[in-house]
Structure 1
Amino acid sequence: MALEKTKLTKEKIIEIVTNDYGLLGTIEINYINRGTANIFKITVDNKNYILKEFNSERTLKYIEKEINIINYLSSKGISVPKYL
């Protein structure tokens, strides 16, 4: 369960995926109730994406460390999400 209530609305998520990532088409958004962050499964024309909203206590250093760990696991052939 997330530690904080999300600050993202459905409209804001659509704005992020279309304007920042150029994902156009039919957009479906589902909340995933898992972990300490707010996580959303976003489906755009049958392609799946994950949007992770870290809680306010997470520092940039913490987030960069998580990305480095994910990238390391990926380099070893472990199936993990790809950060954009």
Structure 2
Amino acid sequence: MRSGNEPVTARSPLRLRFWLSLWGLIWAAAGTAGFTLAGRSGWAAACGAVALVAVVDLAVVVHHIHQGPHYQPGPDIPPYEPPRH
């Protein structure tokens, strides 16, 4: 459980999740194209579904990154302390 008081050196997994989703999107799109050219419509549809999931995940991750360092995942999580300058 998060306390909202994480260490100063804590890192957000959002950038890693962004790159992994992008990597998955590239491979899923390539799989969709390859299976379509090979005439395997079932596999092409499966890869297309994975590509769609990757696109949605990328959109969510980019939205969370744009919210900045004070993104709060839910109302049950206490707020962060204000930044000290």
- Give TM-score, length-normalised by structure 1: 0.26
Q: From the two aligned structures, give the one with the greater helix fraction.
A: 2
Q: RCO greater where, 1 or 2, for CA within 8 Å and sep 6 or more?
A: 2
- Give TM-score, length-normalised by structure 2: 0.25
| Larger Rg over CA atoms | 2
